[in-house]
Amino acid sequence: MDPFTIIIIFMFISILISFAIGANDETFSTVNGSKTLNMKEILIFATILAILGAILLGGSVSKTVGNKLFGSGVSDISENMVLTVLFSTSIWLIISSYLGAPISTTHSTIGSIIGVGILIGGLNGVEWLKILEMSFWWILSPIIGFAVTYVVYKLIHKYIINRLNGFKDFERTERIFSYILLVTIGLTAFSRAGNDCSNAVGIVIGLEADISIDLILIITGISFSLGIIVLGRTVIKSVGNITELVPSSAFASQVPTAGILFVGTILGVPLSGSHMLVASLVGLSKSRKAPRKGGLKKIILIWFLTFPIAALLAIVLYFPISAIPF
């Protein structure tokens, strides 16, 4: 197959997967849940930040995911393997978005890589030590999110909310928190786009094809924002309804997600923003001693299913895709 056709195919796949990632992005859930912005305003804000984050921050994590997860049993990364991983990841993201469940794009991508790696090279087809190293962050980041949110909300409630005099004071304070929340969300969305969009093109880097990474990142950012606009509102509403929110409590749940995701993206560590935010909202619910609304069990179940389903999808899809002559 000629190089131009290969480039067109991978451009199309990049558009598909980045659209799927955007459709599953729950970053603005706390803004929606706290009624800080309406859905139309959220979609405009999200679009701008998604494009900027993908273009300016997307390169570092792409190299981590793309180059280091296939093991010694895989001697060469073929175009068919790349297509399989991207299709598998996209399908599972779209299914999860339809169900209103936020999942980890990183986990979906890596699950697909594991499936292809085992199929091609057996247990030696996957770099298990690298995945184990990444799993430390996957486990630690939600724990930090839960704990930090719990403490931050307690501090806000003790030193600010409890000292307010009357409804007008409360209303003014919440308005101030709404502005701070938007700044925090801006940082989260910016770094999240860099972290998640990079997974859409990371495996292409592993192929070492003659394709401009900057061009793919631009396309990824635009497609990511379209995914948010077309399907993302379902996931945003689902996560925003896990617990009752006002701007001050939404801010408390957003602090760990924003900080850890930003640092992780700069360091090239693939993190799960979905897991962190949901864990933060659970920490908030515990701190407030407030009941959680429905949907959390479904979200957690789909989290556990992500690795095996993405891997199985990749194995099944590889057989027809391997017949494509590159």
pLDDT at position 178 over 80: yes
Q: CA 138 to CA 150: how far, in whole Å?
A: 19
What pLDDT shows up at residue 208?
Answer: 58
Highest mean pLDDT among 100-104, 129-133, 171-175, 227-231: 171-175
- Cβ–Cβ under 8 Å, residues 217 and 201: yes
Residue 23 tokens, joined? 């459709």
Residues, the chain: 326
* pLDDT, tens only, 187-228: 778 877 776 676 666 656 655 556 677 777 788 788 888 998
Nearest CA among 202, 178, 161, 167 for reference residue 17: 202
What pLDDT shows up at residue 203?
Answer: 54
What pLDDT shows up at residue 25?
Answer: 85
What is the pLDDT confidence band of residue 310, given thresholds at 50, 70 and 90? very high
CB atoms within 10 A of CB 312: 16
Contacts of residue 315, defined as CB under 8 A and 6 or more positions apart, other chains included, come to 115, 116, 118, 119
Please work out, in degrees rounded to the nearest 5, the angle formed at the alpha carbon of residue 105 by the alpha carbons of 274 and 208.
150
What is the pLDDT confidence band of residue 93, given thresholds at 50, 70 and 90? very high
Q: What residues does 70 pair with on adjacent strands?
A: 126
- Cβ–Cβ under 8 Å, residues 84 and 318: yes
What pLDDT shows up at residue 41?
Answer: 92
Highest mean pLDDT among 145-154, 266-275, 285-294: 145-154
Give 122's DSSP letter: G
Nearest CA among 103, 105, 104, 100 for reference residue 237: 100
Q: CA 2 to CA 35: how far, in whole Å?
A: 52
CA 54 centroid distance within chain = 12
CA dihedral 21, 26, 28, 31 (to 10 degrees): 170
Q: What are phi and psi of 206, to 5 degrees?
A: -60, -30
Burial label for 296, CB within 10 Å (0-12, 13-18, 19+), is: middle
